[in-house]
Amino acid sequence: MTGLTTKFLEKLCFNVFKESCLVYFVINKLGKITQWGGNLSDLNISEPGEDDPITDTAIFMEGILPLKGESMEFSCIKMPNNSCVDALLFKIEIGYGLIIWDATKKDHYLTETQQKCNELSLLIEKQKNRLVHFPDKRSEMENETILEDLFQALNFAVLEMDNNGHFVLIGTPPKWIEQIPQSNQILLGHSYEEDVFTFLGNFIQTAKDLWSKNHQGSYKSGVWIEKDQTDQEFLFEATAVDIQGRKLLIISHDRCQPNEKQSIIQKGRDLALNYHKLKRSDQKLKSMHDELELRVKERTKDIEEANRKLANELKERKKVEKEREEVSQQLRQSQKMEAIGTLAGGIAHDFNNILSAIIGFSELSIYEIKEDSTLKPKLEKILHASGRAKDLVQQILTFSRQTELEKRPLKLKLIVLEVLNLLRASLPAFIDIKKDLKSNGYILADQTQIHQVIMNLCTNAWHAMKENGGTLKVGLKEIDIKNESISAKNKLAIGQYLELTIKDTGCGMPPEIIERIFDPYFTTKETDKGTGLGLSVVHGIISNCNGSITVDSQIGKGSLFKIYLPSFITSNRSKPNKEKTISLGNNEKILFVDDEPFQTEMAEQQLSQMGYRVIISNDSAHALNIFLDNKDDFDLIITDMIMPKMTGKTLSQKIHKIKPDIPIILCSGYSDDIDSDTIKKMGIAQYLMKPVGMNDLSRAVKDALQKKK
C-alpha cells in the first residue's frame, strides 16, 4: 500500500469515525497508545498524549491486558465521566486495537427493560416471602397494590371495565401516556377508549364477547404502530384479561425496535407467567383458606345442632324429672294413705268387735224383752245407731282399701254420694259441688276401685280449681249406645251404659298434656295398692270394666271427664238382705271360737236363742283340743280369723284335716290376708264380716248346715 493510499484511507476512516461517534485506539503490547482517532469529545474522552497508558483514557482497560483470547467485547460501560460506551478490543500485529462507541441510546432502553425485570423479580420475591411467612395475612388490598405495582413496573396502562361497559384507567398511569394524542381525556377518566387508542375498536368488541362467554385467559390485539405528537413511532399492544372477575385492558407500549421488542416482551412475559404461577398458588391458598372456613362453619353448624339437641334433651329430661317428681309425690301420698289406711283398718277391726258386742247384745235384749216393753224402742235406736256406725266403719275401710277386690253389682249412685260426702268435708267453701244423679242403675265392678276412680277425678277437679274456686259438677245418667260412631270413638260395644260426668271450671289443660294424660307411669305397679292413683290407673280400672273414659279440656275454662260403664242388668241381683226372719236351728252342736270373751258370750246367747247347742272357746289351741276330744259331736265350727297362738285359718285347716266335711264359718273384723279364692280352696262354708247381726249369723249357720247335708 502506497503512502498516498494510506493517507486516503486514514482520512476516510477519520471522517467515518467522527461522524459515527466512534473512537479508536491503537495500543502497543505494553498497553501504551500509539494512535487514536474519532470523535473523542462526543464521548467525553480527553485527548491522550503519545505513549500514555490506555488505562488513563479508558479506565475500564485496567487489568485487562494482556488479552488472552483474540478479542473482547465491552457492553454498557459507564465511566466516571458519565459517558456510557460499548467497546471492542482485539489483537493486532503490533498490539491491540480498541474501538469505543456511544452506548447511551442502548443504555437507555436496556436500563428501562432491566429495571422492569429486576423490579418485578423483587416484587415476586417479596410476594413469595409474604406467602411463606404470612400466608394468612393476605388481603385484597395488598393484592391490589401489588397488582398496581406490577402494572407500573411493567410500564403498562391498565383500563378496567366498569358496570356500564366503559373503561377507566386504574393505578398510576405510565409516563408514555402523555405522549398520546388526547391523553388528557383518558387521564381525566372520561374518554371513549377507542378515541384514544384508535386500534382498539374491534378488539374491545371481541374482548367483551369473550368475557360474556366467560372466557378465561387473555386475548391480545397484536402489535400496532402509531406515531405520537412528535412523529415518533410507538409500538402498542393491548391485552384483554379477566383477573379475579375484573375485566382489564392492559396496554403496553414500546419505543424500541421490533426485534428488540421480542426479547423484552419475552422477559416480561416470562415474569408475568412466573407471577401468574405465584398468583395461582396464592389463589390455591385462598381457596384452601375458604374451604377451611367453610368447614369451620359447617362444624359450627354441627355443634349448634348438637347443642340444640342437647338443650332439647335437657328440656325433655327436666320434664321427665318433673313427672318423676310428681309421681314420687304421688307415691309418697299413696304411702301416707296406705299408712292411714292400715291405721284405720286396725281401728276398724277393734271398732267392729265393739260394734258386734253392741249390736249383738242389743239384738239379744230385744229378743228377750216383752213385745210391749218401753225398752224395745230404745234398744232399737241403739241398734239403728250401731248400724250407722257399722256403715261408717265400712266407708273407712273402703277408703283405706282394706276391703276385698271383687267385682260385684254396685249401685254407682251410692258410691258417688259416698265420695262426695267424704270430699265435702275436705273441700274449701269456694268450691261448689253440684250433683245431678239421675240413675239408680248398677254396674259390675269392684267397689273400692270405682270409689277410687271417682275420688281421684274429683280430687283432680278440686286441684284445678284451687286457685280461683269454681264448681264441681257430677252427673250420672243412663245412656243407650246404639250409634256406631259414638261406640267406635269410645271403643265401646253397643249397649246400655251409665255415663258419669265430672266437670270442673278450673284452669284446664293444654293439648299436649291431654294427649298424655292417660299414659301409664307405673305399668308394673299393683293397681290395687296405693291411693294416689294416676289417671293411667283410672283408665286401667275403667277399661277393665269394659268401659271408657274421655276428657275434654280448655285452658282457662276447665275440664270434663266422661266415664262410660256398662249397665249391669240381671234378674237375680244380689240385694242386701232385708229379711227379718231368723232361721232357727235344730239342736245342732256348734263350736264357737273367738279370743274376745264378750264375742263368745254374745254368740253363745245368740245361737242358743236360735236353737243351737253352743260350746265356746277363747283360745284357738284349746278349741282344737275340744274338737279332737269330741270330733263327731260337732255339726259346725264358727271361728274368728285373727287370734293369738293360732289363727282361724290354721285352726280351720287342722280341723278339716281331721274331719274334711265339717262346715266352718270364718269371721273377721277385717281381713286383708284372705281372699275369696283361698276361702273356697279351704272349703270354708261362709265368711262373715264383723259385726255380724243375728240375721246374718242365723242365715249363715243355716246355709252352712244345709250345705253339709
Partner 1 sequence: MKKKICMLGAFAVGKTSLVERYVHSIFSDKYHTTVGVKIEKMQTAIGEEIVDLIIWDLHGEDEFQHVQLSYLKGSSGLIYVADGTRKSTLATALNLKEIAEKTIGKVPFILVLNKMDLQDQWEIDDLTLKDIEDKGIIVVQTSAKTGDEVKHTFQLLTKKMLDK
Closer CB to partner 1, residue 65 or residue 535? 65
What φ, ψ does residue 377 adopt, rounded to 5°? Answer: -60, -35
Residue closer to partner 1 by CB (options 84, 396) is 84
Distance of CA 257 to the CA centre of its chain: 75
Count the neighbouring beta carbons within 10 Å of the beta carbon of residue 126: 12
Question: CB of residue 155 vs partner 1: minimum separation in angstroms?
Answer: 14
Number of residues that bind partner 1 (CB under 8 A): 31
- The nearer residue to partner 1, 111 or 483, going by C-beta atoms, is 111
Least CB distance to partner 1 at residue 129 (A): 8
Nearest approach, Cβ of 220 to partner 1 (angstroms)? 23
124 contacts partner 1 (rule: CB under 8 A): no
Interface of this chain with partner 1, residues 23 to 62, rule: CB under 8 A: 55, 59-60, 62
Given the complex with partner 1, which of 95 and 508 has the nearer CB atom?
Answer: 95
145 is a site residue for partner 1 (CB under 8 A) = no
Question: What letter represents residue 351's amino acid?
Answer: F
- Beta strands 167-170 and 218-220 are unpaired
Phi/psi for 350 (5° steps) reads -65, -40
CB of 55 to partner 1, least distance (A): 7
Residue 608 neighbours by CB under 8 Å, 6+ apart: 614
Please state whether 435 falls in left (phi above 0), alpha (psi between -120 and 50) or beta: beta
Interatomic CA distance for residues 389 and 317, integer angstroms: 50
CA 465 to chain centre: 36
Q: Build a one-symbol-per-residue string for 58-97: x at contacts with partner 1 by CB under 8 A, - elsewhere.
A: -xx-xxxx--x---x-xxxxxxx---x-------------
> CB of residue 93 vs partner 1: minimum separation in angstroms?
22
Look at residues 460, 388, 385 and name the one whose alpha carbon lies nearest to residue 419: 460
DSSP string, 166-184: -EEEESSPPGGGGGSTTHH
Residue 63 CB, nearest approach to partner 1 (Å) = 2
Q: What residues from 97 to 116 belong to the interface with partner 1 (CB under 8 A)?
A: 103, 107, 110-111, 114-115
* Residue among 75 and 421 whose Cβ is closer to partner 1: 75
State the helix-helix crossing angle for 375-399 and 412-426, rounded to 10 degrees.
80
Our measurement of the distance from residue 432's CA atom to the centroid of its chain's CA atoms, rounded to an integer in Å, reads: 45
Closer residue to partner 1 in complex, CB, 104/653 = 104
Amino acid identity for residue 496 in this structure: Q
Nearer to partner 1, 117 or 433 (CB): 117
Neighbours of 101 (CB within 10 A): 20
CA distance 17 to 57: 18
Quote the least distance from Cβ 200 to partner 1, whole Å: 31
Paired with 436 in beta bridges are 475
> Edge to edge, what strands does the sheet with 495-503 contain?
431-437, 470-481, 495-503, 558-566, 548-554
**Grid-cell match 378515541, residue found:** 195
Please state whether beta strands 33-38 and 22-28 pair in parallel, antiparallel, or not at all (unpaired).
Answer: antiparallel
Residue of the chain from 6, 118, 281, 287 that contacts partner 1 (CB under 8 A)? 118
CB of residue 184 to partner 1, shortest distance in Å: 28
Residue number with CB closer to partner 1 (110 or 682):
110
CB of 276 to partner 1, least distance (A): 17
CA 463 to chain centre: 34
Contact 254, 179 (CB under 8 A): no
Asked if 119 touches partner 1 (CB under 8 A), the answer is yes
Nearer Cβ to partner 1, position 53 or 387? 53
| Contact positions with partner 1 (CB under 8 A) in 252-311 | 267
CB of 70 to partner 1, least distance (A): 12
Nearer to partner 1 (CB atom), residue 154 or residue 641: 154
Give me the least distance between CB of 9 and partner 1, in Å please: 31
* CB closer to partner 1 out of 108 and 438: 108
Q: Which residues bind partner 1 (CB under 8 A)?
A: 55, 59-60, 62-65, 68, 72, 74-80, 84, 103, 107, 110-111, 114-115, 117-119, 121-122, 125, 129, 267
